[in-house]
Each structure stands twice: as structure tokens, then as C-alpha cells.
Structure 1
Amino acid sequence: MAQSLFKALKLRGACDIDVLAPGWSLPILERMPEVRRGVVMPLGHGEFGLGKRRTLGKSLAGEGYDQAIVLPGSLKSALVPFFAGIPRRTGFRGEMRYGLLNDLRPLDKAALPMTVQRFAALAAPAGTPLPAPFPMPRLIAQADNQPRLREAHALPAGVPAVAFMPGAEYGPAKQWSIPHFAALARSLAEQGFQVWVLGSNKDREAGEAIAAGNPAVRNLAGLTALGDAVDLLAMSAAAVTNDSGLMHVAAALDVPLVAIYGSSSPEHTPPLSQRVSIQTLRLDCSPCFKRVCPLGHTRCLTDIAPKRVLAALGELGLPCSAPASERSAAAVIPLVPSSLPGA
């Protein structure tokens, strides 16, 4: 989602953009034409590491940066730009960052309800309206990597593929049930599609369960690097996903996408694309934003039937069929670029 910020900066004038980010995210940055280079953050999530942050900041001091834009709200995230002596250090108020940031902005959550809006707002002086049209994330797949991936994983080129992303790092309250994914995979296989399960090694077991007894499913979870997953998604005819990082990747590749929401909210972090069907039941108990269902039933996810998701794929243009009774209720109208506040 930070790519919308990078695009907004470029709209304001010529500039070079370097991004300090975790090492695992560099393949994503490589597929953003706005980014000159990625700089590896040597610390893990939640690690304070004052000495390492000071060393990294001092190493960047000679780069001549004019501005640093800090997206996280933590105190520690503001340390590297401060130690680097970057003249203008921009960010929203967070954990006592007075002095560390000298272009400190109040955050009006009502005016900027979406994370992507908050990022893009930091491209311009405080109070400036968001750019219109709103700059949407758009990744560029590495086309020369795609034939290699097909060969390495024996993926037939003549059969359209639907990508499944069954993982969600936050917890099971964001994960559509594996039996539902498996049932959907069977329906797609019967209609002539192959299914690629994408994710990390943590999703390997889920992929095996989805693939069990279904030769049309290829479980690639844990077998590909993040950059490879991006390039595989770009070759997919459509994708079905939980609210996850790969959901945003698929949206940024403009792949027709069914996004399934349970404990989280599509109003806060929607997939940013026009070819999206958001599936959410909006039960009284959701969104609860819990990792595990506090009521023990996870009905917000289990009550979304595979036939409903199949119908949503058909409405997005995938040549598949579902009962008419499912089609009429399949899709919740998604948040599209034209409906973003400030766009």
C-alpha cells in the first residue's frame, strides 16, 4: 500500500525514492518502478536494537536525503532518519516522537479511514487534499521469470489457473476454512481450471489438504520466493484469498480477485483494484479484529459457502458457472478507486 505514497511523491515532481524495509519485502519493491532501491532493515519486527538503528542511520547520513517519511507509528521507527540527520522527517503523531520527527502531523482517522490514504497524505504538506485521481498500487511482474517458473513447477501453459492464498499471518479468524477452499478447488477442476496454492512454508499443510485427491491443484506454498509468487499471480486468471499481504499483491497486479473477510474490515484495508469482489457477511459480531473467534464458531467465515465464491468468480468474468440462486447474492460491492474519499 505504500506504493500509493511513492506514486503521489512522483506526481509532485521528480525525485529519487529509496525505501528502508525488511529484507523479505525487497522483491515487492523491485516490482515498483517508482523505487530506486530498497535498503534492508536489519532488525526483526518488535526488536528495538538502538545500537543497530544508530549504526544504520549513520551509514545513511552521506546519502544526501532531503526528506524521510516514516509510515509506522512507533518511536523506534523514527530513530534511523534522526540518526541519519535527514533535514525533514515526516510522519503522524505516534509514540512520543517529538524531536525525532520535525514534520509531525495529527492523524484525522475520520477524514483518512484507509491505511493507503494515510500513507499517500504524507506526500504533500499537511492539509493538502489527496491527489485525484488517487494513485493506485500497480506492481510490474518480471516476465522473464515466468517461463522459468512454469518449467520448474511443471505448470501447464494451456490451462487457466486460479490462485488460492489460504494463509493469513494474523490468525485463524481471518482464514476461510480449508474444506471450503478444497470444495471450491474441486468445482474449478470440474470446469477445466488448474489451481495454484500460494503462500509461505506455514501454509504448506493447508495446501496439501486443499490438493488431496485433486490432481488439478498444485501446492506451491513454501516452494517459491515472494518475488516468484508475484510473477505467478500475474499469470493467474483469477485469485481467491483471505485478507492478507498476498491479497494486496494480487490487487496491485489487477488480477480478478475474490477477497474473503471475517474478523477484519474491508473499509480499513480493502484490496485496491476495480476487479474485486469482497465477500463478507457483516454479522453483528464482526469485524471483531481478533486473532481467534471469541465466540468459538467463526461463522463470519464458515457461513460463506464455496458456491458463493464460485459465483463471485463468474461475476468477475471467469468462465465458470454456479447456481443462479448463488449468483444473485454473491458479491458485496467493493471499494473502488472512484469511491475513495478525496479521490
Structure 2
Amino acid sequence: MKRILIVAPAWVGDAIMAQPMYARLKQRHPDSQIDVLAPAWTRPLHARMAEIAEAIDAPFGHGELKLRERWKLARQLKARGYDQVIVLPNSIKSALVPAFAGIPKRTGWVGEMRYGLLNDARKLDPIALPKMVQRFYALAEDNTPLSATIPNPELTINNADRDAALAKLGLSTTQPMIAICPGAEYGPAKRWPAAHAAALATQLIADGAQVWLFGSGKDSEICAEIVKLEPNVVNLAGKTSLAEAIDLLSLAHVAVCNDSGLMHVAAALGRPLVAVFGSSSPGFTPPLTSKAKIVTLALECSPCFARVCPLGHMDCLNKLTPDYVMKALKELTKES
């Protein structure tokens, strides 16, 4: 049995975009065991990926070197006898533990000059592989060009866990539920304004739907703004674990999301999705599903990829009024 370790990304969206690569590895090596090394908080994501056998916690904060801790972890991994490691992040730090562990085949993109740490270092052609999902998927191959269509990411749901989350929060599914995910951890230049989200929610509620707001505690402020403008929404921001948020999001009749981790979760759950793009580009990290409508104004100044609008006006999102999103929602409803 081939034992493969994946050094996985720390961002929700990136972690989900890696799932098709795991499926490809399983296709190529059906009897393999695939484990991931990732931050502990990503466990709910990997627990919902059928290909992953075990998630191993990486006890390092963002940017932390912690050489002693990395060496100790490497000794533990060495004892597991991995045949190959695939390092998805491009940093030097992410390649240290596999090198310390002496894993025979260490695969990844060259990144930050990692030739000494990776012995199967690939040189990325960003024109041939413009999307992140392609860059991950290519690492499952033996340094050969991609020839097949990449499948969309998939997350699996346990109905009993989902029912438990509904009961815990006192939620009902008697009315169609529309999810709004108004956060974006990267920065405000990716967040659709709260006033727009509230106006959309008011329309949807008037049409007979219920609207649930999804997000972490970091999204509490923007969700509170939405609630102030439209008190009839159900605000779940900071009230669910990531596991519960994933399970509940699977119930959405349709989801409205910024370019965020929850956008990729909704896509991987197969939910119809309206994705709102401002400072970022749907060409690099689009929602990977056939059930998505992308809404963007494609202004001359965007995508700028900035966390905060460098021009101070954020026209790419402020001028993207609720009418644009409602139009996309109606188109999705007709198609589904």
C-alpha cells in the first residue's frame, strides 16, 4: 500500500480546491492511504473528503518558524513510513517538515527556491495552469501535462450531524432557505456592502424565503449591520462551528457569497450559487461548480487583488447593486 502525505493549505477555499487532486491520487493509486498535514481548524473540511484517511494537526501559526517543533513533528512522520509527500503551499517553511522526515519522494512547485527541500520540484507555467485547482491537480501526475477535465470538488454530508445542528440552533426547513455569506477574511475589498445584502434579504423574505447569514466570529460585525437593516434574517455568524456551517449550508436552496472560503464550500456541496466578485478575479479562484452565476462589474480598476480599495471608493462592489444579484438568482432558479 502506498502511503501519501499532503501538506495542505490553511485557507478554506484553497483546502477545498485541493480535493480533486486527492480524488485523482485515489484514481491512480486505489489502494493508497492519503493523509493530510494541516491546521487543526481545517479538520471539518478534510473529514468531509472521502479520500482522506487521517488529518494530522500542524501546530504552527501563520509565519511561525518553530524549527524545534518542526523537527519533533518530522520524527513522528518519519515513523509512519510515507512513500511520498505533496507540498501544496509554496513557502519554504511548508517544505521543511517533509525534508526533516526524510520522506523519499517530496513533490511540489519550486516556490521559494525549494530545490534542496523538494526532490521532485516542478516549475510552474502560470499561463498553462492559470487556476489554482489546476496547479494542485497537476501535482498528482508524474510531471506530465494535464490531459483530462478536472472534476469539481465534492464534500460529503452526514445527515445525522446535519439534523443535530438544526436541532441545536432551533432551525426549521419548512420554508426554502437562501444562504448569504457576507464575509471574506482576506479584506473589505472582497465584501459586498451590508446595505446591499440587507436589501436583497428583504426582497427574498418578501418572496417567501428565509435568509440565513453564515460566517465566523470575524464576520459578526458585517452580519450585525445586515440584521440592523433587516431584522428578519437568521444570523448564524459566530454561532456555529465550521462543521455545523458546512452541514447547514448544504440545505440552502441557493447561496449568495463573496469570493470566500464559504463560496467554495457551497460549490463543493453542489448548491446553486451566486458569486459576487470585487477586487479578486473569477479567472483564478472561481466557484468550481456548474451551478454558479458569477456577478462582477469588471471595472477598469479591477481586479486589483487589494485587501482595501487603493482608490478609496470600492466602486467594484458599491456599484454592484442588489438588482444584479437578484437577476442572477432568478436565472439560477429557472435553470434548476
Q: With the length of structure 2 as denominator, give the TM-score of the two structures.
A: 0.92
* Letter of the 1:54 counterpart: W
TM superposition shift of 1:205: 2.1
Secondary structure of 2:70's counterpart equals helix
Which among 127, 143, 167 is matched to residue 110 of structure 1? 127
TM superposition shift of 1:216: 3.4
Which among 282, 287, 292 is matched to residue 266 of structure 1? 282
Q: Which residue of 2 aligns with 1:128?
A: 145
Q: Which residue of 1 aligns with 2:81?
A: 64
1:230 maps to 2:246: yes
User: Take 2:53 and 2:282, find their aligned partners in 1: how far apart are those partners?
Assistant: 31
User: Take 1:274 and 1:46, find their aligned partners in 2: how far apart are those partners?
Assistant: 36
Which among 204, 208, 211 is matched to residue 224 of structure 2? 208
Q: Which residue of 2 aligns with 1:82?
A: 99
Say which is worse superposed, 199-208 or 112-121, in terms of deviation.
Answer: 199-208
Which among 313, 320, 324 is matched to residue 297 of structure 1? 313
Q: Is the 8 A contact 2:190 2:277 kept in 1?
A: yes
TM superposition shift of 1:256: 0.5
User: Take 2:51 and 2:232, find their aligned partners in 1: how far apart are those partners?
Assistant: 37
1:282 maps to 2:301: no
Q: Is the 8 A contact 1:58 1:84 kept in 2?
A: yes
Q: Which residue of 2 aligns with 1:48?
A: 65
CA RMSD of aligned residues (A): 1.3
User: Take 1:271 and 1:316, find their aligned partners in 2: how far apart are those partners?
Assistant: 14
Q: Is the 8 A contact 1:8 1:135 kept in 2?
A: no
TM superposition shift of 1:134: 1.4
Q: Which residue of 2 aligns with 1:157?
A: 173
Q: Which residue of 1 aligns with 2:266?
A: 250
TM superposition shift of 1:191: 0.4
User: Take 2:253 and 2:296, find their aligned partners in 1: how far apart are those partners?
Assistant: 22
TM superposition shift of 1:211: 2.0
Q: Deviations over 1:146-204 (max 9, x none)?
A: 22222222222211111111111111111100000000000000001111111111111
CA distance change for structure 1 residues 188 and 318 in 2, over 3 Å: closer, same or farther?
A: farther
TM superposition shift of 1:215: 4.8
* Letter of the 1:160 counterpart: P
* Letter of the 1:249 counterpart: V
User: Take 2:57 and 2:138, find their aligned partners in 1: how far apart are those partners?
Assistant: 25
Q: Is the 8 A contact 2:86 2:108 kept in 1?
A: yes
User: Take 1:192 and 1:202, find their aligned partners in 2: how far apart are those partners?
Assistant: 29
Moved over 6 A (4+): none
Secondary structure of 2:79's counterpart equals helix
Q: Is the 8 A contact 1:193 1:216 kept in 2?
A: no
Q: Which residue of 2 aligns with 1:340?
A: none
Q: Is the 8 A contact 2:198 2:229 kept in 1?
A: no
Q: Deviations over 1:29-55 (max 9, x none)?
A: 000001001110000111111111111
Secondary structure of 2:78's counterpart equals helix
TM superposition shift of 1:133: 3.2
Q: With the length of structure 1 as denominator, give the TM-score of the two structures.
A: 0.90
User: Take 2:167 and 2:24, find their aligned partners in 1: how far apart are those partners?
Assistant: 38
Q: Is the 8 A contact 1:238 1:318 kept in 2?
A: no
* Letter of the 1:94 counterpart: G
1:167 maps to 2:170: no
1:147 maps to 2:158: no
User: Take 2:83 and 2:298, find their aligned partners in 1: how far apart are those partners?
Assistant: 45
TM superposition shift of 1:93: 0.6
* Letter of the 1:280 counterpart: T
TM superposition shift of 1:104: 0.5
Q: Which residue of 2 aligns with 1:341?
A: none
* Letter of the 2:320 counterpart: I
Q: How many residues align?
A: 318
TM superposition shift of 1:213: 5.8
User: Take 1:318 and 1:154, find their aligned partners in 2: how far apart are those partners?
Assistant: 31
Secondary structure of 2:33's counterpart equals coil
Structure 1 portions without partners, runs of 5+: 320-343
Q: Is the 8 A contact 1:281 1:304 kept in 2?
A: yes
User: Take 1:187 and 1:85, find their aligned partners in 2: how far apart are those partners?
Assistant: 58
* Letter of the 1:103 counterpart: D
User: Take 2:110 and 2:221, find their aligned partners in 1: how far apart are those partners?
Assistant: 41
Q: Which residue of 2 aligns with 1:100?
A: 117
